[in-house]
Structure 1
Amino acid sequence: MPADNHTFSDPMTYVLTGIPGTEESHVWISIPFCLMYIATLFGNSLLLFIILTEQSLHEPMYLFVSMLATADLLLSTTTVPKMLAVFWFRAGEISFAACLTQMFFIHVSFLAESAILLAMAFDRYVAICNPLRYTIILTNSVIGKMGLAVITRSFCFIFPLIFLVKQLKFCRTNRLPHNYCDYVDIARLACDDITVSIWYGIATAILVIGLDAMLIAVSYGLILRAVFQLPTKEARLKALHTCGSHVCVILMFYTPAFFSSFALRFGHIIPDFILILLANFYVLIPPMLNPIVYGVTTKEILKRVINVFHRWCRGSSLLS
């Protein structure tokens, strides 16, 4: 394996180092990571099962929730197993092609989640501001086209990153100070000028994530205006309640993303292991909490989750 000061180009293998400075604690760090991943798999899989098998939940809001659960599963499964391999077995070696593949799916999942949250904001806007035309506007055909648009947009913005990275020449180290392959970390290992790569990443963040966040804010501004025009307090509270879970998920998604971006600008005064931990929490905590938020705050989903556990418990008692 090339040493840190070995000069080479076109590396065949990268080495993920985990969280620098915490090597002696990797096993302990891996325990909450593993538990959060198990909770993510169980929660999102259960959410998908309930929505797909319950005909009464085949409505726009729940279909968007199922898309979000799918993106969460993709994001966490793309990253966490390799994290755990690094922590448990020091198996940090990853081929250049596999690293690019992981990077691609991480960023595609990120952009897809942002687009899904925007679609959900539009769903809430139509439901509250134009309820009589809700079923006419958000038909199954429209939902399908929106899902296709989410995938297409994410693919079109992220696929060029693969070409940008493949054009770079690497002559420093093949050791990535991280536990998954991130675009910025890979680009920083190159000896070439990475100005184009950096600016493409910034432009993508502004045009996609920034624009999505702005449109979501506009949607909720219109929603709040419509809510405060309702005649009774009960009607206003009921309308706001339908948006509660979505607002929680939006905050869990955008807050760590913007905080991580802010922290990177001040990386010289923030220890590297803090920045990496923040990046890890982003791919662990929102995917774990999203199904909990929707399961607890959405009465229809909570009712069916209880029914599923009731059937499982009854089946187990009959078998015993």
Structure 2
Amino acid sequence: MCCLCFCGHFYFQLGQNTKRKAAMSSVSQSFSSNNSIVHPEYFFIIGLSGIPYSTYYYIFLFLIYIISVIENSVVLFIIVVDRNLHSPKYIGVFYLALADFGETNALIPNMIKIFVFDSQYISYNACLANMFFVHFFSTMQSLTLVVLAYDRFIAICLPLRYHAIVNNTAMSAVFVGLWAFNGGLVAFVVSSITRLSFCKSNAVPSYYCDHGPVYKLACNDVSISVFMARLCTALYVVAPLLFIVLSYLGIFLALSKITTWQGRLKALKTCVSHLLLVGSFFLPIVCIYTAPFLVSLNPNARVISTSLAYAVPPMLNPIIYVLNTSEIKDLIKKYLKKRSIQIK
């Protein structure tokens, strides 16, 4: 299959270049004829072009996709069918797995399509849809980690009041509210793109229809999009990290009051899974956008690192919870044992 893709690369690329020039020519003519908002027929995703040894990278992405979909599907299935897992903690795990499943399917298939079919172009409406779903599910991961941090904080700092404050009804209501709020905000961010005119270029220097690279192509006022980008960074990266750090400061303070080391370790063990999830999600993003030696990365290296920062956590999250959660491990072992007996 890869051989066929590379054999046809030249001809596909030639056709795409022709489409790109024609699309931008029509856009420029329309804009010059009147000052109304102009939308291109297509956008071209060029962030993945020119990556050396791209075959191996796409094979790796395909493996990440398959593993992530299977793992998160298993986690969702187990939590739904087993009533013992219908608790506040696992409601949070369920919504995290749902967000992971959604982001994986919104992001990776389009990236693989670019390679397999050598098809860099995406229609204007499809671009906006891709932008919405990738941003919606990735930001839901951030918000879910905040809720799980709150769950751990109440469990350790206020154990006697835990069941009164954190219960299934309250946790479900929190997630319904977060999904509704997040859906509305992300929809507004994406809709702000429809107010922009694209008269210069429609080549997006990213690996998907990312909000920032798209609005920077516009030739009219982008102040609303810039403001929304900064607001979302504050809401989905800075504020969650600050809340999680403050939560764990409170947790460590509560642990210091426990007299025995065994008691401290037992309480801290319940936070290990969440800390690993926070690290796998936030650490790559913070490093890529703040570390001096990573900020000046080669464009290809930056695209690869940022794409992996979004693609890998949904694969790691189920592994982290399975390895650190005895209930899920016992259920999987019980199911596999039952299946093996049925086969015999």
TM-score (norm 2): 0.86
Q: 1:40–1:73: 8 Å Cα contact kept in structure 2? A: yes
Distance 1:4-1:224 versus aligned 2 partners, 3 A rule:
farther
* Corresponding residue number in structure 1 for 2:153: 125
Residue 128 of structure 2 corresponds to 100
Contact 2:45 2:204 (8 Å CA) reproduced: yes
1: distance between equivalents of 2:95 and 2:272?
18
Structure 1 residue aligned with 2:336: 309
Query: SS in structure 1 opposite 2:39?
Result: coil
Give the Cα–Cα distance (whole angstroms) in 2 for the partners of residues 280 and 4 of structure 1: 30
What pairs with 1:44-55 in structure 2 (closer than 5 Å)? Answer: 44-55=72-83
**1:74-89 aligned within 5 A:** 74-89=102-117
Distance 1:313 1:17, change over 3 A: farther
Q: Which moved more, 1:239-248 or 1:126-135?
A: 126-135
Is 1:167 matched up with 2:195?
A: yes
Letter in 1 for 2:137: S
Q: Which deviates further from its counterpart, 185-194 or 93-102?
A: 185-194
What is the DSSP-based 3-state SS (H/G/I as helix, E as strand, rest coil) of the residue aligned with 1:15? Answer: strand
Displacement of 1:14: 1.5
Secondary structure of the structure 1 residue equivalent to 2:53: helix
User: How far apart in 1 are the matches of 2:217 and 2:180?
Assistant: 29
The separation in 2 between residues aligned to 1:183 and 1:297, in whole angstroms, is 36
CA–CA separation in structure 2 for the residues paired with 1:13 and 1:311: 52
Q: Give the distance between the partners of 2:311 and 2:187, measured in 1 at CA.
A: 24
Q: Are residue 2 (structure 1) and residue 20 (structure 2) matched?
A: yes
1:190-269 correspondence to structure 2 within 5 Å: 190-262=218-290, 269=296
Q: Which amino acid aligns with 1:246?
A: H
Per the alignment, residue 177 of structure 2 pairs with 149
Between the aligned partners of 1:86 and 1:264, the Cα distance in structure 2 is 31
**For residues 258-314 of structure 1, what are the alpha-carbon distances to aligned partners after superposition, in whole Å with 9 as ceiling and x for unaligned?**
2233369975x3211112112211221100000000000111111112222223333
Cα distance between partner residues in 2 of 1:170 and 1:90? 24
Higher relative contact order (CA 8 A, sep 6+): 1
Task: Give the alignment partner of residue 66 of structure 1, picking from 94, 112, 116.
Answer: 94
Equivalent-residue separation in structure 1 for 2:42 and 2:166 (angstroms): 47
- Kept in 2: contact 1:68–1:113 (CA 8 A): yes
CA contact (8 A) 1:72 1:109 kept: yes
Alpha-carbon spacing, 1:48–1:254, altered in 2? closer, same or farther (3 Å): same
Bigger mean CA deviation after superposition, 251-260 or 95-104: 251-260
Moved more, 214-223 or 24-33: 24-33
**Identity among equivalent pairs (%):** 29
CA deviation digits over 1:59-88, x for unaligned, max 9? 111110111000000111001111111111
Partners of 2:341 and 2:208 in 1: CA distance: 42
CA distance in 1, matches of 2:173, 2:328: 25
Kept in 2, the 8 Å contact 1:263–1:275? The answer is no
1:300 aligns to 2:327 (yes or no)? yes
Distance 1:257 1:266, change over 3 A: closer
Matched, 1:20 2:49: yes
Give the residue type in structure 1 aligned to 2:328.
I
Task: Return the offset for 1:194.
Answer: 2.5
State the distance in 2 between where 1:67 and 1:6 align: 41
**Counterpart for residue 291 of structure 1:** 318
User: SS of 1:79's equivalent?
Assistant: helix
Cα distance between partner residues in 1 of 2:326 and 2:169: 26
Q: Retained in 2: the 8 A contact 1:17–1:86?
A: no
* Counterpart Cα distance in 2 of 1:259 and 1:157: 26
Larger Rg: 2
Report if aligned partners of 2:104, 2:311 keep a CA contact under 8 Å in 1.
Answer: yes
The whole-number CA distance in structure 2 between the counterparts of 1:5 and 1:274 is 29
Amino acid at match of 2:185: F
Greater mean alpha carbon deviation, residues 3-12 or residues 94-103: 3-12
Listed one character per residue, the Cα deviations across residues 67-110 of structure 1 (whole Å, up to 9, x for unaligned) are 10000001110011111111111122211111111111111112
Contact 1:4–1:174 (CA under 8 A) maintained in structure 2? no
After superposition, the C-alpha distances for 1:99-134 in whole angstroms (9 at most, x for unaligned) are 111111111112211111111011111111111221
Instruction: Pick closer, same or farther for the CA change 1:161–1:265 going to 2, 3 Å.
Output: farther
Q: How many Å apart are 1:234 and its aligned residue?
A: 0.7
One-letter amino acid of the structure 2 residue matched with residue 312 of structure 1: R
Question: Any conservation in 1 of the 2:131–2:209 contact (CA below 8 Å)?
Answer: yes
